[in-house]
A and B are shown apart, each in its own frame.
Chain A
Amino acid sequence: DTGVSQDPRHKITKRGQNVTFRCDPISEHNRLYWYRQTLGQGPEFLTYFQNEAQLEKSRLLSDRFSAERPKGSFSTLEIQRTEQGDSAMYLCASSPYLSGGSYNEQFFGPGTRLTVL
């Protein structure tokens, strides 16, 4: 059973560098979410894909952030010109589409911990 995987698990970078994270959802799930979690806080929604379409972006996602999901499979989240305030755990989740339901469980990956020095 392969759940949601994220790579890398940890990333340390210097301020101003670009970083890219990858998320591989559960294979039959067509919905994919990115959240950010800082220490002592709950996760905050960043963006959402249904298949390859990005349907919503949080205002937390500045112009330095971009996410893609080519072909509706894996997704990447890129942060350009990183700042110390970007240090956080970046979480990816996926869920299936089940007709008639108002909510389908989101399955989370282990996260990528970013440290910006």
Chain B
Amino acid sequence: GNSVTQMEGPVTLSEEAFLTINCTYTATGYPSLFWYVQYPGEGLQLLLKATKADDKGSNKGFEATYRKETTSFHLEKGSVQVSDSAVYFCALSDRVGDAGNNRKLIWGLGTSLAVNP
């Protein structure tokens, strides 16, 4: 079945450092890909998404490009801040049921990021 593999954490960086969190996937067809973020004590929030090959999702300085040839969707940010400390989840959409456009999410294990001042 479809799956997501995410680099293990925790990742610890100094403020203004460059961030990369690797994510690769296994899927049949052409799923949409997502990065969700979970700040301490809060619920999961969609950070960015890409729905087809070569799409680049971006938000709050984070970027990820849907690479079909390498089945990857790595998350990057050029200069992290303390406020970016959170757990980041890579996910893909998978079909629910037999037909239609109903989707469920298949998730990676999450990568914890700690940014020190």
A→B interface (CB under 8 Å): 3-4, 31, 33, 35, 40-45, 48, 50, 55-56, 91, 93, 101-106, 108-111
B→A interface (CB under 8 Å): 4, 6, 32, 42-46, 49, 51, 89, 91, 93, 96-97, 101-110
CB of B43 within 8 A of CB of A55, answer no
Chain A neighbourhood of B44, CB < 8 A: 43, 91, 93, 108
CB of A42 within 8 A of CB of B109, answer yes
Chain A neighbourhood of B103, CB < 8 A: 102-104
CB of B101 within 8 A of CB of A56, answer no
B interface: dominant SS: strand
Chain B neighbourhood of A108, CB < 8 A: 43-45
B94 to chain A, nearest CB (A): 8
Select B101's contact among A40, A41, A103, A110, beta carbons within 8 Å.
A103
User: Among B46, B103, B108, which residue has the most Cβ atoms of chain A within 10 A?
Assistant: B103
**How many angstroms from the CA of A93 to the CA of B32 in the assembled complex?**
18
**How many angstroms from the CA of A47 to the CA of B101 in the assembled complex?**
16
CB of A106 within 8 A of CB of B105, answer yes
Chain B neighbourhood of A40, CB < 8 A: 109-110
CB of A105 within 8 A of CB of B46, answer yes
**How many angstroms from the CA of A4 to the CA of B44 in the assembled complex?**
11
Question: Besides the contacts A42-B108, A55-B97, A102-B51, what 14 more A-B pairs have beta carbons closer than 8 Å?
Answer: A31-B102, A33-B104, A33-B105, A41-B110, A42-B89, A42-B107, A45-B105, A48-B97, A48-B102, A91-B43, A102-B32, A102-B93, A102-B101, A108-B45
CB of A41 within 8 A of CB of B109, answer yes
Instruction: List 19 A-B pairs, Cβ < 8 Å.
Output: A41-B110, A42-B6, A42-B91, A42-B107, A43-B89, A44-B107, A48-B96, A48-B102, A50-B102, A55-B96, A56-B96, A56-B97, A91-B44, A102-B93, A102-B101, A103-B103, A106-B46, A108-B44, A111-B43
